[in-house]
Amino acid sequence: MVSPAIALAFLPLLVTLIIRYRYYLVLFYRAVLVRVIQDCLTGLSREERAFQYVLTHATPGDPDSILDTFDYWCSKIEFISNIGPKKGKVLDKLLKETNPLTVLELGTHCGYSTVRIARSLPIGARLYSVEMDERNALVAEKIIRLAGFDDDTVELIVSPSDEVIPKLREEYGVERLDFVFMDHWKRCYLPDLQLLEGSGLLGEGTVILADNVIFPGAPNFLRHVKRSGLYEYRVHRATLEYIRGIRDGMAELIYLGAK
């Protein structure tokens, strides 16, 4: 057994670690423990629980109401790693500035960012949103339609991103992408960016916005962006959505054209 004296000696270290990593402990509790407990109690996925809340508390056909309700659920009830309202303003600003007609979203998840993008698009624009998880895609489809967006505005593609990107021109008729939003598996950021570079779908001035490049992080992606010479880029510093105290960032790239 550990003597009380030894245990007491380690107490200041334990307190220091708890204070230093308190936000990560909060994230673990909200994102992991609460999710496991609620999954067992309800028999529903976290995304399905979020949809039920949005369905009963938001105004159908009102994207702003859908997003506000989602934000409340994610900040007060259960954590979901949406882009959130603060980083969402960066996305909103870029969409307003670029006024894109053809947008690709990699990582629909449960449809939050899809609705956020779609509400900012000009008339006649089209958003292709890619989600590989079928269960999440079912939730996203309901959220997108609840917000009032039809297939002519948002096309949801249920498939891995590395299978979709090479087919965008031939199967979906995409000639050029004006805007790309990346918020899927971080390990996919670099290979998917390289697929896009080789696809011929990026044109001079195409904007790519990648979330969570600081936490959980996408170091290989950022390293490629810096070394390739293909982009003007900046990182918008922020905190992790719905959790204060954890530093994060979004990488904004502007494609300069193939060398």
Catalytic residue positions, numbered: 183, 186, 211-212, 241
Beta bridge partners, 252, equal 209, 234
The amino acid at residue 248 is D
* Residue appearing with tokens 């967006």: 149
User: Mapped to the 3 state alphabet, what secondary structure does the chain carry?
Assistant: CCCHHHHHHHHHHHHHHHHHCHHHHHHHHHHHHHHHHHHHHHCCCHHHHHHHHHHHHCCCCCHHHHHHHHHHHHHHHCCCCCCHHHHHHHHHHHHHHHCCCEEEEECCCCCHHHHHHHCCCCCCCEEEEEECCHHHHHHHHHHHHHCCCCCCCEEEEECCHHHHHHHHHHHHCCCCEEEEEECCCHHHHHHHHHHHHHHCCEEEEEEEEECCHHHHHCHHHHHHHHHHCCEEEEEEEEECCCCCCCEEEEEEEEECCCC
Nearest to 211 by CA among 108, 121, 110, 87: 87
